[in-house]
A and B are shown apart, each in its own frame.
Chain A
Amino acid sequence: MKRETLHVRWGGRGELFACVLLSVLVHVGLSVPASAQSTLPAPVEVQVIDTPNDGGASLTVLWAPSGSDSPDARYQILLGNGGAIDPASLKVIAEFPADTRFVKDVKSAWWTREAEKTWHQYVIRSGKDAEIQDGTAYTVAVALLKREDRAMSSLVQATPAPNWFNWNQLNNLILALSFGGIVFYAISHARRNEIFLRRIPGLDAVDEAIGRSTELGKPILYLTGAHDMSDPSTIAAAVILGRVAKRTAAYETELMVPHRDPITMAVCQEITKQAYMEAGKPDLFKEDSNFFITSDQFSYTAAVDGIMLRKKPAANFFMGSYFAESLLLTETGASTGAIQIAGTDSDHQLPFFVTTCDYTLIGEELYAASAYLSKEPVQIGTLRGQDIGKAVILSAIVIGTVLATIGAVTGAQWPSLFLDFFKDVK
């Protein structure tokens, strides 16, 4: 953050004089009234700073509240070039009622607040009336207007600059790092100790589904969802595919994986190939078991429905993210009599999966699936880390609810202090 008042470089004698004059005016705290007869108090303690935690090209004006902050009074923000000393040379770039634009209205964390909550705050950005450039000094003033009266503050200078860290997001960083730390600690703990993992019925059914397909001599259909490889749900679906492919290879059952995203297809091809090799059946691996259909939602759905009706797979797996196509897929699958196992983090589609599939992995169970199937310490440790994270969030919710209730019932102010803290540490 770069904060400036008048400490800027000046060239030339005239400018030096202007600088001295302006310095005197500012530091003595005198105001420059627009009208000699004005009875209005001029805005005081005006600070102009480079807007903190931003990408630059912006200045923030802060000033103390006044007794004249009523709805019929108005504030004006005036802006001029860095060397301006004549208030008349400044241009009005904003005007608003005097009882608006407070620090408390600005959505920023309490640790980055530059002034009291009751102070006024206005952020100057490039727009139709003003062009703000980084590294250029600007002169700013605030004027208070009421009917015919107008009182102007001292002129203040500042230079905008971009910042290298957004301190408003410090909480986010700390929480993310803490959670990451917890996850890695839990993984190392899981490597040394046995951790209990509750049963996930949907995953117990995976073997049953593959076994049934083998008995019936019918293929298995596996879908990885609507998203691409940048989505964690698709990655989780791809990881589970590896485990499923290993079993289908062992049972020598046909596997079909139609895709909506070419990159996901390429990755899944590799995963399937590896799974067949690990199962000791590389000769059974078919390159075209993973195939691309289209990225269009309903064209893909129509194609997969066609595959279901023609090939009649004995088991359908729906893992990953889904939208409106979910019911069209699962209802068609149900009509063919296939065992259906779904796993999705698309909460809006859960009702459809729950009603039409035999087993559904809900939300993060999808992520837990790979841990359950592999029983690897790394995966199980991650689950333990997630549980600790959830416990922390749950505690914060419970404490916050209790405090908010106490505050509402008793009318006491102290709970709001804690609630403010919680509000920002989110």
Chain B
Amino acid sequence: MLKIDRRIIFLVIGLCTLLPLLYPVGLPIKISSEVRGVYNHIESLPERSVLFMSLDFDPASKPELHPQAIALLRHAFRKNLRVVTMTLWVSGTGLADQIVTQVAKEMGKENGKDYVFLGWSPGNTAVIINLGQNLYNTFPSDYGGKPTKGLPVLDGVQSLKDVTYMVSLGAGNPGVEAWYVFGKDKYKFEMGGGCTGVMAPGLYPLLRSGQINGLIGGLRGAAEYESLIDQKGKAVAGMDAQSATHVAIIVLVIICNLFYFSMRRAAQQHSQVGS
């Protein structure tokens, strides 16, 4: 039993994901301090402040980071902030555009006045450095081809130094860490982050030392944010599935250990009998 067919495990996990999505339970979600950190900071910003969001993920991380981006944008638009968005991941450009356009349309926001999607520029971390020097040189036009100079949403913004708050939703490199090292550390702006669940424990040192003031980790973080803004979406719906899979993995680990100990005991008894 210790070497169980992997397909049985896959089947269990598949069912644990599928069934709660079909029959949701809706368990209450407790808000963590790290998610509240991002929420509270955005809540404290005056109207028309500039929120800079970098959606640094591709479709692979969509299930976790898409709900985070949606919740953050809804919050920002509701607070009437000016939202400047971009991506450092070329394969995430289309996705980021879809997210921003969808939420802006839903909230009745105007492109160029209330928000702008700058698109993608090659160079990874070099783009961050260039943005810290001059935003208009890095992105002379937005994703739609409109010149960025003169856009009302960028009024008073020359570079990253003029940004009120920055949030990087990153699924890897470049992501939250790159934005801290090449952005915040150099150009001094307040910063929060969002990442996949797997990456979250790795970013706790940044959080604890105050290098970022909040962290939205994985689907759980997105669900917490949706609860905070009181607009429950895909993340809250997915939490039941995540609950079930976590419990399934725990049960599997317990079963595996029970087999392991029973086999070990049997082997010990066998060796005692043999000697």
Contacts and interface: CB of A to CB of B under 8 A. Distances in A.
Given A297-B58, A297-B60, A321 B173 contact: yes
A348 B202 CA distance: 5
B111 to A, nearest CB: 21
A346 B202 CA distance: 9
A127 B172 contact: no
Given A128-B156, A348-B198, A324 B173 contact: no
B91 A324 contact: no
B156 A348 contact: no
B216 interface: no
A244 interface: no
Contacts of A335: 6
A287 interface: no
A347 B91 CA distance: 25
Given A297-B60, A335-B6, A347-B202, A323 B156 contact: no
A286 B104 CA distance: 54
Contacts of B144: none
A352 B196 CA distance: 15
Contacts of B201: 348
A125 B161 CA distance: 10
Contacts of A348: 198-199, 201-203
Interface string B77-104: 0000000000000010000000000000
A425 B201 CA distance: 27
Interface string B150-187: 00000110100110000000011100000000000000
Contacts of A347: 202
A40 B247 CA distance: 67
A263 to B, nearest CB: 13
A128 B203 CA distance: 35
A128 B6 contact: no
Interface in B187-201: 188, 196, 198-199, 201
A296 interface: yes
A421 interface: no
A227 B162 contact: no
Contacts of A324: 60-61, 171-172, 196, 198-199
A17 interface: no
B172 A128 contact: no
Interface string A88-115: 0000000000000000000100000000
Nearest to A230: B125
Contacts of B6: 335
A70 interface: no
A297 B155 contact: no
A118 interface: no
A403 B195 CA distance: 36
B142 to A, nearest CB: 21
Nearest to B199: A348
A126 interface: yes
B137 to A, nearest CB: 15
A144 interface: no
A323 B162 contact: no
Contact of A323 (B155, B172, B188): B172
Given A297-B60, A348-B199, A227 B156 contact: no
Given A323-B172, A348-B199, A127 B58 contact: no
Given A126-B158, A127-B162, A297-B58, A227 B173 contact: yes
A165 to B, nearest CB: 15
Contacts of B161: 125
Interface of B: 6, 58, 60-61, 91, 155-156, 158, 161-162, 171-173, 188, 196, 198-199, 201-203
Closest 6 CB pairs of A and B: A348-B202, A323-B172, A128-B156, A298-B60, A348-B199, A127-B156
10 contacts: A125-B161, A128-B156, A226-B173, A297-B172, A323-B173, A324-B60, A324-B171, A324-B172, A324-B198, A346-B202
Interface of A: 107, 125-128, 226-227, 296-298, 321, 323-324, 335, 346-349
Given A226-B172, A297-B60, A346-B202, 20 more contacts: A107-B188, A126-B158, A127-B156, A128-B156, A226-B173, A227-B173, A296-B91, A297-B58, A321-B173, A323-B171, A323-B172, A323-B173, A323-B199, A324-B61, A324-B172, A324-B196, A324-B199, A348-B198, A348-B201, A349-B198
